[in-house]
Amino acid sequence: MLEFFILSYSVASLSGLLVGSVSNILSTSRSITFGLTMLHAILGGSLLGVYLNLIFNLDLPIPLISTLVAICLSIMVGELVEKGFSEDMSIAFTVSIATTMTIVFGYLSSQISSIALARAWSYIAGTSAISTFQDLLKLAITLFIVLPITHLFFREFKYIAFDEDGSKALGLNIRVYRYMFYSLAAISASVLSSTIGVLATHVVLSVPGFLILKFSKRLSIAFTYLSSVSIMILGYYLASLLSIPPSGGVGLVSIIAVLGVVVYGRRY
């Protein structure tokens, strides 16, 4: 019982740190919409993985397929932006591709196996109510990669988002930094989706950034980590009390946090 408790809250803490590192850069660079739309790519990639495993009788890791699809579509966004399209238009185009993948491969998979949609749903709502050592390992490896890079190049990411022409004048390689930023967001969102689900990831990625804009612009980095880790731990605790998957608890706590900010804002 103690081992399960330690494992669950270790997963929650690492998930919170990963959310904080990504949400911080997404919010400060005004790219939170991109982070959320990448979840469409992850869902489409997950269904593609399910279909490939069924049709070819393979055992490919679904999170790996969804991550590769998300990275490819994020690079497509970067290329379209480089070609002069607006970021919103580029994201909308890739979302249409990801949504089409979801529809097509979801339908094809359901025609082959009756359990295909159940497997796909596990990536929407979260794979399990029980955290595993594999979840912990995935999060630790991803955090080891994402956290140092986001902090090392934080100023470059932010500067490019706010003043692309000035960044070019300074000699920054806009394309490399943009691809790096998009890929980090895609990898983080994919790993989080494989543990707490696409829906909960969609909610929790936006909430810390929302709280930053409302409460703490000066101490945004520390505040982001504190809020994201708190949301994850409280979400896991609420889930255990209500006997629901962690994704449900995380979603409820995120909603409560946002409602609290709305009420606080009206009063003050």
Question: Tens digits of per-residue pLDDT, 51-71?
Answer: 888 888 888 888 788 888 888
Angstrom distance (rounded) from CA 16 to CA 58: 33
- DSSP-derived secondary structure letter, 170: T
Is residue 268 one of the residues assigned to a domain? no
- DSSP-derived secondary structure letter, 204: H
Q: Quote the tokens at residue 219.
A: 């101490």
> Range of 101's domain?
2-262
Neighbours of 114 (CB within 10 A): 8
Per-residue confidence (pLDDT) for residue 35, from 0 to 100: 65
20-39: per-residue pLDDT in tens?
A: 888 777 776 656 666 667 77
- Per the confidence metrics, is the pTM higher than 0.85? no
Angstrom distance (rounded) from CA 68 to CA 74: 10
Is residue 136 one of the residues assigned to a domain? yes
Is residue 26 one of the residues assigned to a domain? yes
Per-residue confidence (pLDDT) for residue 140, from 0 to 100: 92
Neighbours of 57 (CB within 10 A): 7
Is residue 267 one of the residues assigned to a domain? no
Per-residue confidence (pLDDT) for residue 34, from 0 to 100: 66
Nearest to 196 by CA among 151, 253, 149: 253
Per-residue confidence (pLDDT) for residue 197, from 0 to 100: 76
Per-residue confidence (pLDDT) for residue 106, from 0 to 100: 83
Q: What is the pLDDT along the chain (268 residues), one digit of tens a residue?
A: 667 778 888 888 998 888 888 877 777 665 666 666 777 788 888 888 888 888 888 888 887 888 888 888 888 887 887 788 877 788 888 888 988 998 898 888 888 877 766 666 666 666 555 677 888 888 899 999 999 998 888 888 877 777 777 777 777 888 888 788 878 888 888 888 877 777 778 777 777 766 766 665 555 677 778 888 998 999 888 988 888 878 788 888 888 887 877 776 655 5
Is residue 116 one of the residues assigned to a domain? yes
Is residue 187 one of the residues assigned to a domain? yes
Is residue 190 one of the residues assigned to a domain? yes
The answer to whether 191 and 138 have CB atoms below 8 angstroms apart is yes
What distance lies between CA 188 and its chain's CA centroid?
A: 5
Is residue 80 one of the residues assigned to a domain? yes
What is the count of structural domains for the chain? 1
Assign residue 93 the CATH number of its domain.
1.10.3470.10
